[in-house]
Chains A and B, each alone.
Chain A
Amino acid sequence: MNDDSSEKMTCCQDVGRRRFLTKVTMALSAVIGAIVALPAVAFVLAPLFKKHEEVWRDVGPTSDFVAGTTKLVSFRDATSLPWAGASTKTAAWVRHLEEGSFSAFSVNCTHLGCPVRWIEGGGLFMCPCHGGVYYADGKVAAGPPPKPLPQYQVRAREGRVEVLTAPIPITTVDPLMKLKQKKGSASQS
């Protein structure tokens, strides 16, 4: 009788103990996983939280930019790791409109980012990938681009033309924004 009850006791103690140990094992494994994984994930996602950097880059003396012309310039992006090589170089189309007034267009088409080229005669930017075309003021002239050609900030200072670096322009879609716009236009009409 005594034996029986003690056996039962050990059995049930064992079960309880095993349940507890199972939980402890799983919880501790999760802790180990978290200690290893969280910093790793943070490291991978770090580019998202990096402070946004912008610098003015000298792209040449103002005398290089004849009024009424459009010229390709190249400069380095803001974030240059020492081993980045030529990959941080980027280009812009700088237009000198009338005396002293400059505008600078990104070379990245808003469709899929391919480098647009300037057609001097027609005064058009044309994309080699899928045939997107922009007018000289960056507005979409034809083809698939969803947005006008993005512009860089540009200034003439002490006889030099300077362009403010910027991220690669990514065309994003915000479904809510579209919905809001639709609602807005509906209420207007």
Chain B
Amino acid sequence: MIRRLAKNAWDWFDDRTGVSKTIWPIMTHLVPPGATWWYVFGSATLCAFAVQVVSGVVLAMSYVPSAESAYESLQYITNEAQFGSFMRGMHYWGAGTMVLMVGIHMTQVFLSGAFKFPRELTWLSGIVLLGLVLGMAFTGQLLRWDQNAIWSVILAAEAAGRAPFVGDWIAQLILGGETLGGATLSRFYVIHVFVIPGLMITMIGAHLYLVLRNGISEPPVKGKPVDPETYREEYEEEIEKHGVPFFPDSAWRDVVFALGVVLAIACAAFFIGPPTLDPPPDPSVIEAQPRPDWYFLWMFAIMALMPAGLENFAIIFGPVFVGSVLIGLPFIFGKGERHPARRPWAVGVVIVTFACIGGFWLAGVRSNWSPNFKAEPLSAEIVGVETGPVAEGAVLFHAQGCLNCHLIDGKGGRRGPNLTDVGDRLTHDAMVIRVMNGGHNMPAFASILTPDELERIVAFLQSRTLKKISD
């Protein structure tokens, strides 16, 4: 009885909506038989997006997007709200996962040449989505309206300010005025919650439509190049002969992998939790050392390590160059071999890119370019003596800020050269010249130190020798 009622209701619904006539053929459209585990990253990205939508909507129920109250509402979410910490954790780890999955998905598509004819627009819509995901990652970090966030806004405004002609305007639009204030956060909130998600949902729709329109690309075969004249015909023929329905023959792998991804996000959210909040967003508190979240650390490192002369150029033309390459790719290399074994340059580009990102990322983790403001005065054990010019020089070495950038026996900063054994490398006079004149990354102390102070600092530096220790 109930069964029959349910069936009738379904038949009525299906007749009026046409679900099984429109949706079912899409679900079961034929895909190439070799579409295996390599094909799971796109759907995993989509799944991570769903996690972000759900956790984001939930967080927005308690988050107050006002510059005054956002920080308090975040503390409430983290410390008091039921499941608040877990949901923040889901949103944070989901964000990282999404950036990661987009990266892997893009690399896989690039390596297997799936961006070639006729899927140029699928690739382009993917590039737009990549930009939107990075936009979400950045604006999301700012909504964590703490000390790190406000300095990141200022940093973004300053970087945008380097754009020729319009830099000042973009910077003002980022800040929502000439200074940080009430307008800044609400604008970023709207961008993060309405503008970019709206664009993303539209672009995801277009991306998926294009996948259906042009078919999932078949696994690349060595010596079988893409020829726009014959490709579509051959693809259709192959699909008709050997194709399997996407659901469930291929979809089950997507679901298995997506389950793994969601489990990983949930475990990270549960066991590690959301990132701790920095001190409150007060720009007059200057004990701040802004750092981006882990997925942007490599960009942060590039900004720090770039030669100063290149900077204005690189801030603007770096992104423009990368964007142009990604957009131009399917039009320049839209034909020919797809298999990575026949595209050594493509493989090389991927290896070099990953090596660069990895290297800069490691550099970003270490952040050796930041002066160490927590450097303590050197202990008598390290200095070696407790009185006399060497000891006085050691005190000066700390007080004058030298130790913020230079390392002595593992203490101090790492911005400048390690001076633990500088006594073995430089003569007295060479040191005097160096301290007086400075260098590119070191101030000239000629006008700061008295001759007496200089003598004592140099005496201290002369005593920094490894030979003495071995004596």
The answer to whether A binds B is yes
Identify which of A112, A120, A124 contacts B155 (C-beta below 8 A).
A112
A45 to B166, CA, bound (A): 13
Given contacts A72-B286, A168-B154, contact A77 B179 (CB under 8 A): yes
- Let me know if B151 and A88 touch, CB within 8 A: no
- Let me know if A112 and B67 touch, CB within 8 A: no
- Let me know if A87 and B159 touch, CB within 8 A: no
- Let me know if A141 and B308 touch, CB within 8 A: no
Q: Number of B residues contacting the other chain (C-beta, 8 Å)?
A: 73
Interface residues of B, dominant DSSP: loop
Distance (whole angstroms) from the CB of B179 to the closest CB of chain A: 4
Within 8 A of B (CB), among A59-86: 72, 74-75, 77-86
Given contacts A78-B179, A129-B370, contact A114 B155 (CB under 8 A): yes
Within 8 A of A (CB), among B157-179: 157-159, 161-165, 167-169, 171-173, 175-179
Distance (whole angstroms) from the CB of B425 to the closest CB of chain A: 20
- Let me know if A129 and B304 touch, CB within 8 A: yes
Asked if B401 lies at the interface with its beta carbon under 8 angstroms from chain A, I say: yes
Binds A, one of B8-16, B44-52, B250-258, B275-283: B275-283
- Let me know if B405 and A123 touch, CB within 8 A: no
- Let me know if B444 and A141 touch, CB within 8 A: yes
Nearest CB to that of B65 among chain A residues? A83
Given contacts A86-B281, A122-B401, A146-B311, contact A115 B180 (CB under 8 A): no
Most chain A CB neighbours (cut-off 10 Å) among B283, B289, B402: B283
Within 8 A of A (CB), among B434-471: 438-445, 447-448
- Let me know if A173 and B290 touch, CB within 8 A: no
Within 8 A of A (CB), among B355-383: 369-371, 373
- Let me know if B441 and A143 touch, CB within 8 A: yes
Asked if B223 lies at the interface with its beta carbon under 8 angstroms from chain A, I say: no
Distance (whole angstroms) from the CB of B173 to the closest CB of chain A: 6
Given contacts A124-B448, A170-B168, contact A88 B303 (CB under 8 A): no
Asked if A4 lies at the interface with its beta carbon under 8 angstroms from chain B, I say: no
Residues of B within 8 A of A81 (CB): 67, 181-183
Nearest CB to that of B180 among chain A residues? A87
Residues of B within 8 A of A144 (CB): 308, 311
A142 to B286, CA, bound (A): 20
Residues of A within 8 A of B107 (CB): none
- Let me know if A108 and B173 touch, CB within 8 A: no
Residues of B within 8 A of A83 (CB): 66-69, 182
A141 to B311, CA, bound (A): 18
Identify which of A77, A87, A112 contacts B150 (C-beta below 8 A).
A87
Residues of B within 8 A of A85 (CB): 66-69, 71, 182, 281
Given contacts A83-B66, A170-B167, A173-B164, contact A114 B288 (CB under 8 A): yes
- Let me know if B286 and A91 touch, CB within 8 A: yes
Asked if A160 lies at the interface with its beta carbon under 8 angstroms from chain B, I say: no
A90 to B404, CA, bound (A): 25
- Let me know if B448 and A142 touch, CB within 8 A: no
- Let me know if A168 and B175 touch, CB within 8 A: yes
Asked if A89 lies at the interface with its beta carbon under 8 angstroms from chain B, I say: yes
- Let me know if B173 and A168 touch, CB within 8 A: no
Identify which of A111, A121, A142, A173 contacts B439 (C-beta below 8 A).
A142
Write out, one digit per residue, whether chain A residues 89-124 have a CB within 8 A of any chain B CB (1) or not (0).
111000000000000000110011111110111111
Binds B, one of A6-14, A17-25, A27-35, A46-54: A46-54
- Let me know if B303 and A133 touch, CB within 8 A: no
Asked if B411 lies at the interface with its beta carbon under 8 angstroms from chain A, I say: no
Distance (whole angstroms) from the CB of B399 to the closest CB of chain A: 3
Given contacts A83-B67, A87-B282, contact A113 B173 (CB under 8 A): no
Asked if A172 lies at the interface with its beta carbon under 8 angstroms from chain B, I say: yes
A129 to B167, CA, bound (A): 21
- Let me know if B290 and A122 touch, CB within 8 A: no
Nearest CB to that of B316 among chain A residues? A173
A135 to B401, CA, bound (A): 12
Nearest CB to that of A141 among chain B residues? B443
| B residues in contact (CB < 8 Å) with A | 66-69, 71, 150-151, 154-155, 157-159, 161-165, 167-169, 171-173, 175-185, 280-290, 303-304, 308, 311-312, 369-371, 373, 396, 398-402, 404-405, 415, 438-445, 447-448
| A residues in contact (CB < 8 Å) with B | 44-45, 47-48, 50, 52, 72, 74-75, 77-91, 107-108, 111-117, 119-124, 126-131, 133, 135, 141-144, 146, 165, 167-168, 170-175
The 4 closest A-B pairs by CB, nearest first: A85-B68, A81-B182, A121-B399, A141-B443
A-B contact pairs, 28 of them (CB 8 A): A47-B173, A48-B169, A74-B284, A79-B181, A83-B68, A85-B71, A86-B281, A87-B67, A121-B401, A122-B400, A122-B401, A122-B402, A126-B373, A127-B371, A128-B288, A128-B370, A129-B155, A129-B289, A129-B304, A141-B443, A141-B444, A142-B439, A165-B179, A167-B179, A168-B175, A170-B168, A171-B162, A173-B312
